[in-house]
Amino acid sequence: YCFKHGVCVFNDDKVNEAAKKALASDALILGSPVHYASIAGAASAFLDRLFRVVSKRMYLKPGASVVSCRRGGASASFDQLNKYFTISGMPVVSSTYWNSVHGNSPSEVEQDLEGLQVMRNLGANLAWLLHCIEAGRQAGLAAPEAERRFVTNYIR
């Protein structure tokens, strides 16, 4: 229902509100703390539902993900968030390393100079990409069209 109609059938939370904002945005940045080497469970459930609603309409919208952890699990969580973008045909904006900061509190994160530098570079890269997209639009460069999607069923 959600994929076909473009709204979540469960209308008692913020998924449909987030969908409207995501579709109206120029880019999307997803972030999560790391819990047990993956994104927070509530965030995962929310994003699964959100992208079921919006994924086919997010094509070519830039996406960036950021994670925050005390010690481990950053790369797995970063990968988990980026999959929402790649499945939706969204360009993934990168930085100069994995988009993560480390610390158990905001004051500890402020001491992660490398992580903060990665975040600044990510912001600069996202801004540059958005300017490039706009310059291409202004120059009359047409965006590529997505092919009709084929779904293979491996059970025969």
User: Does residue 5 register a pLDDT over 80?
Assistant: no
Whole-number average pLDDT of the chain:
94
Distance, in Å, from the CA atom of 54 to the CA atom of 39, rounded to the nearest integer, reads 20
Give the length of the chain. 156
Q: List phi, psi (to 5°) of 45.
A: -60, -45
Q: Does domain 2-138 have CATH number 3.40.50.360?
A: yes
Residue 64: predicted pLDDT: 98
User: Does residue 8 register a pLDDT over 90?
Assistant: no
Query: What are the structural domain ranges in the chain?
Result: 2-138
Residue 149: predicted pLDDT: 85
Structure tokens at 84: 């929402």
Position 41 confidence tier, pLDDT thresholds 50, 70, 90:
very high
Tell me the three state secondary structure of residue 73. Answer: coil
What are 103-150's pLDDT values in tens digits?
A: 999 999 999 999 999 999 999 999 999 999 999 999 999 999 988 888
DSSP-based helix, strand, coil % in the chain, nearest 5 = 50, 15, 40
Residue 142: predicted pLDDT: 94
What DSSP element (H or E) covers 42? helix 41-54
Global pTM reads: 0.90
